[in-house]
Structure 1
Amino acid sequence: MVHQTIATKMTSASSASIRINPMNFRLLRLVATTLIVGTLVACSTKPPQTPAPPPDTGATTAPPPVYHPVPGTLNQSKSRWVPVEWNDLPGFSDDALFEAWNAWLRSCEKPAPAFAPLCADVRRLSIATGEEQRAWMMEKLRPYRVEATDGRTDGMLTGYYEPLMDAARAPGNGYNVPLYAPPADLGVRKPWYTRQQIDTLPAAQAALAGKAIAWVKDPVEAMVLHIQGSGRIRVQEADGSVRLVRLAFAGTNDQPYKSIGKWLLDQGLVRDATWPGITAWTVQNPQRVNELLWANPRYVFFREEPLSALDAAFGPRGAQGVPLTPGRSIAVDRASIPYGTPVWLASAGPTVQLSRLVLAQDTGSAILGAVRADFFTGWGHEAGEVAGRLKQNLRLWALWPR
């Protein structure tokens, strides 16, 4: 799933610890058993004068420090993995591993070559105890500290989620913001029309005639959906029934992404560029909403997907090609961590306290760097509150087969 993380658009919902709906986890645990069974001025003063070099005393200048790799270090394009001991992983003995096993089972649907031989055991152990799962991991895997090529071990964690909103199949009764499927000439005209042109240019509107999947009420909520790259809608059908469906990412207009939160800050219009702050500004300045939205020329197109009971227990498909698991799937820079890799994640901050096993199953245009991850929080308002404020320190350990 292609998305831009919220925290790159704003300095951004609950404090203390993350709260993923317990009902989701109970459902996920049941799903895991079912799966097994069914298998990121210049100043005005003059520059200081360069000091004179010290007198030559005949002593030689010490060379810069040289990095000596630890034996067993694995090098990736954007990171290096340094072998460590299992007791170096904070909270390893305390994690409820069965929750992560749901994500691991999903990865085994499209496993990376290095992990394919382990998938039979992963399936078998989905109903094992946490102690049995932990013992197996310690036997089959080796932990590596993920660090940048300059040795930095600290990075940044942000969050993303699936918005959930009401929608209608036809415009009217306040539902006047369309969500479009890709136009027929999307692959021919590159870049396609900007967001402003889509809203105002007759040629763009003609190209999108008949392409509206559904209509929502709030243009800012629609923008959130575009930023996240997918979402869920409770759509009112023509017969009056209401159905829950997923809108999955189907392409963009190939225009650059621009942060509307940053636009507001640059204009000096707000001090709080979180989604609540942005929403409050739009309520006070309804005549400038289009100006705000048009500051971001990128536009996202969707495809509709049905949501079965099983599908509803997981998120959209990530870049690995498997559905995401709330609280246990992360988006990474693929040049640092390959898809399908189990990762130990540790992050402490004002929004969440995390020490847990997660799976690298997605990526995003803003997820760049060695120690960088976007944490999938789930769907709906509460997940959005957490994702919208999540921006804090991060450390990662890759778990790789021995």
Structure 2
Amino acid sequence: MIAALRSAFLAGVVMVAGPPSGAETTHTVLEYDSLDGWAADDHSAALSVFLNTCGDLDDPDWRALCALGREQGATGARAFFELFFRPVLIEDGADPLFTGYFEPELNGARGPGGPYKYPVYKMPPEAREAGQWLHRRDILTSGVMEGRGLEIAWVDDPVELFFLQIQGSGRIRMPDGGTVRVGYGGANGHSYRSVGRELVRRGLFAAHQVSAEVIKRWVRANPAAGADLLFHNPSYVFFRELKHLPAGVGPLGAMNRSVTTLRSIAVDPAFVPLGAPVWLEKDGKDPIRRLMIAQDTGSAIKGAQRADVFFGTGDAAGRAAGRLRDPGRMVVLLPIQRAYALAPDGL
């Protein structure tokens, strides 16, 4: 779910286009020597990430490959992929587009006081039962949440809290040096309305100027108008505390397993099976040639050549993820029989 929420924001800022209506999906089986940079990658690292989630795959061919993968040593990883998978280029007529996402870190405390004024809420039972509940403005201004013990923590920045809801997962640093990890716990049932588009509509920025950092700066520079701008989005996300998620691993992706920095991607499962290895050739500045694993999804991640790369945790990861919007190519590694069944002409 984390990419789903963040991708809804992305769609509003950069106005990502989906595949052309009625476009035919094609499948082409490739050779490994046609994958740019394949031999130079760390296949053992990719195999380790693959093994994190392959045990959750139900189909017999995937289960068999997962079992075989667990028997491989570090030196056998490349041979494992080359022997049991075939690279398949899946295209739907849309231009390839690769973006990034991350896990934010906020400053907070277990209780209110000093700068810690803004609560991170659990989902109230009536909101879960309602399907569609109160708007963001009513949740934060009507007092409906107060005095009920629904606060997980309190943070020092309402703008960062807003973007934590967009990412859907994050870490809250406590004054004593500890960390509280939170993940998606539900929402009020209202669709996201882009605050970036609203800034453009008001004539304050051109569409190409709007980014998460631009929105943050504008809201902080205009506190009253900024608070009203955030209310433009009626969607509100609640959280749950992830008490048993180790500090050294990433947030939970769509497979309910931790995603891994620069090895996990969010994909469109209509084209790419969750858990599948994906060879990514991202062009543009700082090219990427790397074997990733499809372990997440996103509401704006639509199409056969569309993916979001997980960049890790914290501000530096957020800046790197925010800069990424590049073309390229991705190739899905599928079990041999499945690959040739999709692309019989590739035999």
Q: Fold-level match, TM-score > 0.5? A: yes
Residue in 2 that maps onto 1:295: 232
Q: Which amino acid aligns with 1:367?
A: I
Unaligned stretches of 5+ residues in structure 1: 13-39, 41-76
CA contact (8 A) 1:320 1:361 kept: yes
Q: How does 1:247-286 map to 2 (within 5 A)?
A: 247-271=182-206, 272-286=209-223
Percent identical: 39
Give the conservation status (yes or no) of the 8 Å contact 2:91–2:304: yes
> What is the aligned counterpart of 2:69 among 96, 99, 122?
122
In the superposition, relative to structure 1, how do residues 233 and 145 fare at CA in structure 2: closer, same or farther (>3 Å)? same
Q: 1:137 to 1:377 in 2, by over 3 A?
A: same
State the SS of the aligned residue for 1:317. coil
Letter in 2 for 1:324: V
Rounded to whole Å, the distance in 1 between the matches of 2:237 and 2:48 is 29
Looking at structure 2, the residues matched to 185 and 363 of structure 1 have their Cα atoms a distance apart, in angstroms, of: 28
Verify: 1:306 aligned to 2:235, yes or no: no
Residue 398 (structure 1) aligns with: 332
What's the offset of the Cα at 1:11?
4.3
Question: Within 5 Å, which residues of 2 pair with 1:311-322?
Answer: 311-322=246-257
Larger Rg: 1
Tell me what 1:205 maps to: 145
Task: Tell me how many residue pairs correspond in the alignment.
Answer: 324
Q: Does 2:82 match 1:147?
A: no
1:172 to 89, 113, 138: 113
TM-score by length of 2: 0.87
8 Å CA contact 1:143–1:398 kept in 2: the answer is yes
> Could you tell me how far 1:109 is from its partner in structure 2?
3.4
Gap runs ≥5 in structure 2: 17-22, 337-347
Which residue number in structure 1 is paired with residue 19 of structure 2?
none
- On the 8 A contact 1:102/1:325 being kept in 2, the answer is no
SS of the aligned residue for 1:199 comes to: helix
* 1:279 partner letter: K
Superposed CA RMSD in Å reads 2.1
Aligned partners of 2:324, 2:70: CA distance in 1, in Å? 32
Higher helix share: 2
Q: Contact 1:235–1:242 (CA<8 Å) still a contact in 2?
A: yes
Q: Does the 8 Å CA contact 1:342/1:360 hold for their aligned counterparts?
A: yes
Q: 1:11 to 1:88 in 2, by over 3 A?
A: same
Q: Distance in 2 between matches of 1:86 and 1:334?
A: 23
Matched, 1:138 2:82: yes
From 27, 31, 34, give the equivalent of 1:81.
27
1:360 aligns with 2:306: no
Q: Does structure 2 conserve the Cα–Cα contact (< 8 Å) formed by 1:144 and 1:400?
A: yes
Match for 2:44: what amino acid? F
Residue 51 of structure 2 corresponds to residue 105 of structure 1: yes
Contact in 2 for aligned 1:270/1:277 (Cα 8 Å): no
Tell me if structure 2 keeps the 8 A contact 1:78–1:369.
Answer: no
Alpha-carbon distance, 1:312 to partner:
2.2
Report if aligned partners of 1:330, 1:361 keep a CA contact under 8 Å in 2. yes
Task: Specify whether residues 321 and 386 from structure 1 end up closer, same or farther in structure 2 by C-alpha distance, changes over 3 A only.
Answer: same
The CA distance in 1 between the partners of 2:134 and 2:34, in whole Å, is 51
Residue in structure 2 matching 1:156, options 97, 108, 121: 97
Distance 1:344 1:78, change over 3 A: farther
Match of 1:373 in 2: 307
Cα deviations across residues 116-171 of structure 1 (Å, max 9, x unaligned)? 1112332232x422xx32222111111110101x4x5x321111111011111111
Indicate the residue corresponding to 1:52 in structure 2. none
The counterpart of 2:166, out of the listed 216, 227, 230, is: 227
How far residue 327 of structure 1 moved from its aligned partner, in angstroms, is 0.5
Question: Residues 158-185 of structure 1: CA distance to partner in whole angstroms, max 9, x if unpaired?
Answer: 1111101111111120111111011011
Distance 2:150 2:112 in 1: 13
